[in-house]
Structure 1
């Protein structure tokens, strides 16, 4: 007894695998990046930040460089 073979109702795309991404595949990493960048640029919002003065000075310097035009 042979097993039936199933065929696709429509032909496969010419490029092979369909490479379209859902909208959230780009939106979520972008949102995470913007959130982390905001925390870095505004360390006063990060309440659990360490008390290391060298790190705080570095963050302040980066903030000044980014906001200076």
Structure 2
């Protein structure tokens, strides 16, 4: 059984094809929205640094990380 080389009617997909020599990139809505929301959140954090508080972690954890970095650098 053979398949025809060209379909009889172009169908709705033919009207969405880009013109010759032009590339068309289609992104989902969230591919644009996520970077915009992330940028907005980071900008908000930068603009209001007065609310930031210092971390109250145990100093032993900092020393452990520092020693680990020293061992890895040698």
TM-score, structure 1 as length reference: 0.42
More helix by share: 2
Q: Which structure would you say has the larger Rg?
A: 2
Higher relative contact order (CA 8 A, sep 6+): 1
